[in-house]
Structure 1
Amino acid sequence: MGEKVLIKGNEAIGEAAIRANCQCFFGYPITPQTELAAYMSKMMPKLGRTFLQAESEISAINMVYGAAGSGVRVLTSSSSPGISLKSEGISYIAGAELPCVIVNIVRGGPGLGGIQPAQSDYFQATKGGAHGDFHMPVYAPASVQEMVDLVQEAFDVADIYRTPCMIMGDGMLGQMMEPVEFKERNKREIKNKDWAANGLKGRKKHNVINSLYLDPEELERHNLKLEAKFNEIREKETKYELYNCEKECDLIMVAYGTVSRICKNVIEMAKKNGINLGLIRPITLWPFPEEAFDKTINKTKFGYISVEMSLGQMVEDVKLSVNGRNKVYFYGRTGGMVPSPVEILNKIKEIIELNKKDSNKIHNLTKGGENNGSCI
């Protein structure tokens, strides 16, 4: 095991990107991710690499398009409204099949919102993130160490599939400090970027980077090609954690990022109350880990509860994954409010009590005979 370093989440992302051979950073300051841009402004020039603070988020994402098109590894970062400004460029990048990594340290919203932690950009990140038929892998770290590991993973996945990848954290993860080990990663096979627009390089014709297809049949072929790539990503790159799901649970929580850490504390608190809880922690928000629900559908008495720092966004994917096979509940806080273990546990107790009352009611109605049972 290597030496551990105490480092802030935002700075850890920057250092991980540098170690992943990121050659260019283009961004614009916005809290709560500004420390990431500040770290890159300090470190990149020392290494002979490019740091540029653009005049706007729109400029920054188009610079990413240019650098990615030349074949180098490139990073940009922002927070919520800044990502919205980048969304047109993100769609162009996906359409042109260019690899890059985009970091969103989410703030409360909508509008300018606040700098407190939130998860209210889930829809934006996982349902495309911009216009057109496309997806991008979205990683949701739950610790500073995982920020490091997933940034490096995202650069590899971006190159392998020629796609933008997003790291989505919240303001708490960006600002907290934890000990981190910068481990040597298992190297994945990444092909030479013979598609890059970086000169002839012995070729007879220049490569052209493009996301414009005026002929509808040609555009449909391109979209179907992208769809095949997204299906391969779904098959090979979905990541999740199952926690305390080995035995039957009263209820299984579904949570990611900071909230998943809180939910692990809820599991320990619940044991003291004679309640057994499990946790599904999506590590990729897209592709969403539907397999985790197939594995646990027969291990929960009363269903699932999606716990979020939003008014209810991931819960829709939970419902789609459960597909009517069990009940799905929701508990969330919004506007930068972080749910406490006690309030989550109280909500779970309430759900369990309601289910027990319903079970007793059904039992009392059905024990009298078949006719009563048919009335339910």
Structure 2
Amino acid sequence: MAKQLLKGNEAFAEAAVRVGVEGFFGYPITPSTEFLEYMAKRMPALGRGFVQAESEVAAINMVYGAACAGKRTMTATSGPGLSLMSEGISYIAGTEVPAVIVDVMRGGPGLGNIAPSQSDYNQMVKGGGHGDYFPIVLAPATVQEAIDYIALAFDLAEKYRSVVFVAVDGNLGQMMEPAELPPMRKLPEKPPEWAVYGAKDRKPNILTSIYIDPPDEEVVNIRLLKRWMEIQKNEVRFQEHSLEDAEIGIISFGVAGRVALSAVHTAREEGIKVGLFRPITLAPFPKKAIEELSKRVRRILVVEMNTGMMLEDVKQAVGGRVPIEFYGRIGGITPFPDEILDEIRRVNQNNENIPDGMERVEWLERLEERIARGE
């Protein structure tokens, strides 16, 4: 199909429709509300399930029910809504049923604002709900990637009977850019064998997340862990740009990574040997690839739209081999390419070792100076 000028949230919703979502359940919260609004018209027109629930708590439990019935199901929300959904997400993970959740991130904590941020990283990547479980987290940087990863999210969710997050921010949700939608898929003719549906002439299926006997719960936890180890082995995704001869490696995801790539191109024109490593799967995290990168570069700069959440995962992967520096914008502010370019120039001239923990202190001082200058 030809590319069209598409708005993020609406494009993501249409992508979900075309890859066969059968039930959407949600509650409006900016900057994800247009996703729900689009589904409110599109799903009933196709004879598929749509409910605007009375709350995010209700919405995620509707997702849970539809998932148990073997239906392709999803929701879309933003940070405060995701917090309310955390208990239900844990139940979905514990019951081992597939579900897709799009998180259009906004500034926080608390009610915060409706501006773009990447501050839900830990909530998604580290498993925001209770207990041991391991969600897959995909982080697109463009509207086209988000469209593509919606399809991938459903495929991975069903392959591994897992929760899959698509982590976008308010920028991607609101921006318009040319993109191509996938063709319409046929809906499955029958539910998967494990699902709860009519049990005539067969043994009923039982899906649950409650195992009163601790040895039984341990067996489930072992199964989830083994599945996660398989995901770690087979589903790590990332992109590399201009890293073949790079002396400085920038590590950044989503829209922050997209902005960083613009800065990389300009820095290259100035003769600075810098490249970009962009994780696409935030979970499973591309730890081995970053470990290998740390053996080739002399410094690493982590760029995020938060206070350095992915930074901790990068540190673990690098293992102290090279100095790591950090630059972030917080509270709903998106960095400009010139800001990141200034950081690249500074890092290029800096040959001093940075004690662990000081990268944030120095960044915060520089950020406060930038704010004081009105930048």
Question: Shared fold by TM > 0.5?
Answer: yes
- The change in CA–CA distance for 1:201 and 1:281 in structure 2 (over 3 A counts) is farther
Contact 1:280 1:292 in 2 (8 A): no
Instruction: Give the match for residue 182 of structure 1.
Output: 181
Number of the residue aligned with 2:247: 250
1:228 counterpart letter in structure 2: K
CA distance, structure 2, for counterparts of residue 40 and residue 239 of structure 1: 29
Per the alignment, residue 26 of structure 2 pairs with 27
1:87-136: CA deviations, max 9, x gaps?
00000000000101001000000001111110001011100121111110
Report the secondary structure of 1:199's partner residue.
coil
Which residue number in structure 2 is paired with residue 273 of structure 1?
270
Amino acid at match of 1:341: P
Instruction: Look up the equivalent residue of 2:118 and give its one-letter code.
Output: Q
1:328 aligns with 2:327: no
In structure 2, what is the Cα distance between the partners aligned to 1:329 and 1:186?
A: 45
Return the letter of the residue paired with 1:257. G
Looking at structure 1, the residues matched to 130 and 330 of structure 2 have their Cα atoms a distance apart, in angstroms, of: 26
Report 1:13-24 matches (<5 A): 13-24=12-23
Q: Sequence identity of aligned pairs in percent?
A: 49
Correspondences of 1:132-143 after superposition (within 5 Å): 132-143=131-142
2: CA distance, partners of 1:14 / 1:343: 33
Cα distance 1:182–1:202, how it changes in 2: closer, same or farther (>3 A)?
farther
Give the whole-Å Cα distance in 2 for the aligned partners of 1:319 and 1:287. Answer: 16
Deviations along 1:246-281, one digit per CA (max 9) or x if unpaired, are 12x231001111111111111111123221111110
**Distance change >3 Å, CA 234–CA 267, structure 1 → 2:** same
* Paired AA for residue 162 in structure 1: R
Whether contact under 8 Å (1:196, 1:207) holds in the other structure is yes
Using a 3 Å threshold, how does the CA distance of structure 1 residues 208 and 263 change in structure 2: closer, same or farther?
same
Equivalent AA in structure 2 for residue 82 of structure 1: G
User: Residue 106 of structure 2 contacts residue 114 of structure 2 at CA under 8 Å; is this kept in 1?
Assistant: yes
Deviation at 1:73, TM superposition (A): 0.2
Q: Cα 1:128–1:357, aligned 2, differ >3 Å: closer, same or farther?
A: closer
TM-score for both structures, normalised by structure 2: 0.90
SS of residue matched to 1:319: helix
Matches within 5 A, 1:1-376: 2-183=1-182, 193-203=192-202, 205-247=203-245, 249-301=246-298, 303-355=299-351
Partner of 1:367: none
Q: TM-score, normalised by structure 1?
A: 0.90
Q: Displacement of 1:300 after TM fit?
A: 1.0
Q: 1:186 to 1:68 in 2, by over 3 A?
A: closer
8 Å contact kept, 1:306–1:315: yes
User: How many residues align structurally?
Assistant: 351
Task: Give the distance between the partners of 2:10 and 2:16, measured in 1 at CA.
Answer: 10
Following superposition, the deviation at residue 357 of structure 1 comes to 10
Q: What one-letter code is carried by the residue in structure 2 that aligns with 1:317?
A: D
RMSD over aligned Cα atoms: 1.8
Give the distance between the partners of 2:224 and 2:315, measured in 1 at CA: 26
**CA contact 1:32–1:107 (8 Å) conserved in 2:** yes
d(CA) in 2 for partners of 1:185 and 1:241?
A: 28
**Distance apart, 1:7 and its partner CA:** 1.1
